[in-house]
């Protein structure tokens, strides 16, 4: 579980740090869903929750 969690947290955090837009991230997640199938849905949910959490913590000038 920890390894899987890191495969969601690290890329999502990095994408947020380089100011990837929500639209770009959701497009990437859509591709992951198509390739990985329904097994990735719990991981996508975790990534979306983290993305919203990161967006709330960003300063106003860095908000996506």
Expressed as residue numbers, the domain containing 56 is 21-64
Higher pLDDT, 57 or 41: 41
If DSSP codes are grouped into helix, strand and coil, which group holds residue 1?
coil
Model pLDDT, residue 64: 47
Residue 44 structure tokens: 């996508």
Model pLDDT, residue 1: 52
Model pLDDT, residue 36: 92
Residue 4, Cα to own-chain centre: how many angstroms? 13
Give which of 48, 37, 38 is closest to 8, Cα–Cα. 48
Kindly state whether residue 46 falls inside one of the protein's structural domains: yes
Q: How far apart are CA 36 and CA 22, in angstroms?
A: 20
pLDDT digits (tens, 9 = 90+) for 13-52: 898 888 888 899 999 999 999 999 999 999 899 999 998 8
Kindly state whether residue 45 falls inside one of the protein's structural domains: yes
State how many domains the chain has.
Answer: 1
Kindly state whether residue 54 falls inside one of the protein's structural domains: yes
pTM to 2 decimals? Answer: 0.73
Kindly state whether residue 11 falls inside one of the protein's structural domains: no
């Amino acid at each position: 579980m920890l390894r899987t969690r890191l495969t969601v947290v690290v890329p999502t955090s990095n994408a947020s740090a380089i100011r990837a837009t929500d639209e770009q991230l959701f497009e990437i997640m859509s591709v992951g869903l198509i390739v990985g199938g329904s097994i990735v849905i719990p991981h996508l949910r975790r990534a979306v929750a983290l993305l919203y959490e990161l967006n709330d913590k960003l300063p106003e000038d860095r908000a996506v």
